[in-house]
Amino acid sequence: MTGELSPIDKAKFVAAKRSVDYVEDGMRVGLGTGSTAAWMVRCLGEMVRNDGLRIKGVPTSTRTAELAREVGIEVISLDEAKWLDVTIDGADEFDGNLNLIKGGGGALLQEKIVATASDQMIVIADVGKEVESLGSFPLPVEVIPFGWQTTKSLVEELLISMDVLGRDTTLRMNGERPFITDEGNYIIDLHLGRIGNPHQLSMAMNQMPGVVENGLFLDICDVVILGFGDGRVETRDINEGTVEEDRLDFVETDNLFTDMND
């Protein structure tokens, strides 16, 4: 129930709740990964069950696919959809130009593919995700397992010539074993502190053999919906140049707030 939610979870919920207003009957919708995106999937499921909303969802991870099926959303692949009307996803960080760092949950590759195959990308986040410059959150870089230590060394060498504050890198672990993405790859997290030129860094890394993709989502996001713990919502549309503020009332719905273990 909403009365049991922390302020941060309330902020995530109201952002997610506002984002589903962008979804219309018959749409093909990219479904993001992470705790905030899980709220959005739950909200869409409630609209499918209670309002007869007909959509097809393209999930960005296996766990999002499982949740979408649980709540009654029809799940299809991106190959089946070919193109999407909208993708709604969370972010680990975003700046004033709506550039993002994503991949804290390890799904950055599918997330970026789905987001760029959409007419519109909407990011839902709590206010704590906004930063002046990207880089406070570790930047994930997905690499193939073969020769990953060599790839890691090459990334570290590249960082010497980049405008970043720090250059520490770590292999993401899952207990005592490397974390494995849905595509069977590893993730190297870059602890940079500040990224002075995200476009330069992204382009240079993605030209490196062994690197599959990085977590910089640049010039992809169209709208950021910010949630606050008191129910306020701020919607920033970079294409329209608008900022709108609203407040959502919490409505306690047993089906929506049970089993939220993300």
* 112 marked as part of a ligand binding site: no
Q: Is 105 marked within a binding site? A: yes
CA distance 57 to 66: 11
Please check if 103 is assigned to a binding site: yes
Does residue 79 have a known ligand-binding role?
no
* Closest of 88, 163, 90 to residue 130, by C-alpha: 90
Q: What is the rounded CA–CA span in Å between residue 107 and residue 112?
A: 9
CA distance 193 to 165: 5
9 in a known ligand binding site? no
Looking at residue 69, the DSSP 8-state letter turns out to be H
Rg (the chain; Cα; Å): 18
Instruction: Give the phi and the psi of residue 216 in degrees, each rounded to 5.
Output: -85, 115
Are the CB atoms for 57 and 76 separated by under 8 Å? yes
Nearest 10 degrees: CA dihedral of 73, 74, 75, 79?
Answer: -140
Exposure string of 150-161, with b = 16+ CB inside 10 Å and e = fewer, is: ebbebbeebbee
- The answer to the question of whether 129 is labelled as a binding residue is yes
Which of 46, 93, 111, 142 is the catalytic position?
111
- Please check if 64 is assigned to a binding site: no
Closest by alpha carbon to 253, among 67, 15, 45, 64? 45
Whether residue 157 lies in the annotated active site: no
Report whether 242 belongs to an annotated binding site: no
Does residue 104 contact residue 34 with C-beta atoms inside 8 Å? yes
- Cα–Cα distance for residue pair 59/77, rounded to 1 Å: 8
Rounded CA separation 24/28 (Å): 9
Say whether 104 counts as a known binding-site residue: yes
Residues placed in the known binding site for substrate: 33-36, 89-92, 102-105, 129
Q: Name the residues annotated as catalytic.
A: 111
